[in-house]
Amino acid sequence: MARVDDYKNAKMIAAEGLASESASSLAGRSGFKALDDRTLEVPFLDKTVHVTIPDFEFQHHAGPGSPEIPLQEQVLILHYMAGKNPPDLSGKWVSYREIPGASFYYGAFVKRAVTPLKQVFGNNLEAFKSGAEKLKGKPVDNGDAAFEFQVFPHVSIQLILWTGDEEFPAEGNILFDATIQNILSPEDIAWMAGMVVYRLMALSR
């Protein structure tokens, strides 16, 4: 598991790579809104984050007193900003294994995202649906229950469940719009999927 120092270092490296870009340039590529020449408004799952540049400080849009943005989420947002964001989603869905270079991180992806998804929601579709609605998920026709979530303007993810029975355990799958391979690394994608699942778990309680 990555340490806090690892995230701090990753944030520093990512911020240095973006420091020369203007707010309008970053906003145009990422699908964010430039509030002024120093501040970006970042939609991330069910929250809105304000990011100042070039220091790349992160704050919940509600301002002082709001929950801090976790370092891991800050790094993911910066890596998204640095990605080669396409103008539109492709509409083609791929599994994690189909993403180039993802095989090395597949075990971590299953542990962080797929296993918790199955264990918590595999036999509790009502909780899954309740959390998904709170997370602004869009129902899709797949499995016994499935929802699509907009993580960033150019990143969508689908969570799919099949309920278990006496013969077969519950199963789950996570799909990504194919353009994600141009935006985030396989490691980032694994972390991101876990963030979505754990946020869903929190909202379903």
**Tens digit of each residue's pLDDT, the chain (205 residues):** 467 788 999 999 999 999 999 999 999 999 999 999 999 999 999 999 999 999 999 999 877 778 899 999 999 999 999 998 766 788 899 999 999 999 999 999 999 999 999 999 999 999 999 999 999 999 999 999 999 999 999 999 999 999 988 888 999 999 999 999 999 999 999 999 999 999 999 999 8
Please give the tally of structural domains in the chain.
2
According to DSSP, the β-strands at 47-52 and 155-162 are unpaired
Query: For residues 14, 20, 24 and 25, what is the CA-based torsion angle, rounded to 10 degrees?
Result: -70
103's tokens: 């095989």
79's tokens: 């890596």
pTM for this one? Answer: 0.92
SS3 for 196?
helix
Backbone angles phi, psi at 58, to 5 degrees: -115, 135
CATH of the domain at 134: 3.30.310
Largest Cα separation within the chain, whole Å, is 59
At 180 the pLDDT is 95
50's tokens: 């304000």
Angstrom distance (rounded) from CA 146 to CA 172: 9
Q: How many residues are recorded in the chain?
A: 205
- On whether both 100 and 78 belong to a single domain, the answer is no
Q: Which of 82, 105, 137 is the last residue of a domain?
A: 82
Segments forming the whole domain that contains residue 73: 4-82
Angstrom distance (rounded) from CA 118 to CA 134: 19
Crossing angle of helices 4-18/71-82, nearest 10°? 30
Q: Which of 82, 111, 144 is the last residue of a domain?
A: 82
Q: Which of 82, 113, 139 is the last residue of a domain?
A: 82
Which of 46, 80, 76 has its CA nearest to residue 61?
46
- On whether both 76 and 176 belong to a single domain, the answer is no
